[in-house]
Amino acid sequence: MPFGRTLVVGADSALDAVPTVRESPPGGGPVAAIGAAFDAVGGELIDVVAILAGDLPLLDAPAIADLRAVAARGWVDGAIYVDSDGRPQWLCGAWRTASVATRLVALADIRGRLDGAAIRELFGGLAVAEVTHIDGPPPWFDCDTEDDIRRAEEWLTR
């Protein structure tokens, strides 16, 4: 399953070839960011989109392909990784585009806006396949602290 277009929401991308959009208001949270991405590409989205946090240094193409393959089967709205404690990793998933677009509209209608919405409000109402990752470092591992960065670097050098 080939990867298509890449779009970064937030601060300017360090990669010149990757377009960047900004959520409204800036800092409005991940749901507002997802809404901005969908608005930016309009009808150009493919059937399944990967929605990922920007601080996942251990996430690789095979891990994304696994999620996309599960989501593309059609019996679910999306596929996410779950950690070893069974916690959903909402920003490490692949989603049926139409399902997310429908939820974005519904959530905006209910709340009046997307900024400040919890990610569970967006994805919680969808049918989700939980994917476990057994081999190697966890692809959902996010780097929020310097200790997290050191831990990720250790995993990457093994």
Q: Is 107:116 a contact under the CB 8 Å cutoff? A: no
* Residues 6 or more apart whose Cβ sits within 8 Å of residue 27: none
Roughly what angle, to the nearest 10 degrees, separates helices 30-41 and 97-111?
120
Q: For residue range 105-129, what is the model confidence (pLDDT) as tens digits?
A: 999 999 999 999 999 999 988 999 9
Share in percent of the chain as helix, strand, coil (round to 5): 35, 15, 45
Q: For residue range 30-84, what is the model confidence (pLDDT) as tens digits?
A: 999 999 888 888 766 678 888 988 889 999 989 999 999 999 887 899 999 999 8
Res 16: pLDDT: 65
DSSP 75: S
Res 11: pLDDT: 65
Q: Which two tokens stand for residue 119?
A: 């990610």
Q: Which residues face 82 on adjacent strands?
A: 88
Q: Which residues face 51 on adjacent strands?
A: 93
Does the pLDDT of residue 12 top 70, yes or no? no
Task: Report which of 81, 83, 63 is spatially closest to residue 129, judged by C-alpha positions.
Answer: 81
Res 79: pLDDT: 96
Alpha-carbon distance of 35 to 28, in angstroms, equals 10
Structural domains of the chain, with CATH: 8-157 (3.90.550.10)
Res 2: pLDDT: 45
Does the pLDDT of residue 102 top 60, yes or no? yes
Res 95: pLDDT: 93
Average pLDDT over residues 4-30: 73
Q: How confident is the model at residue 7 (pLDDT cuts 50, 70, 90)?
A: low
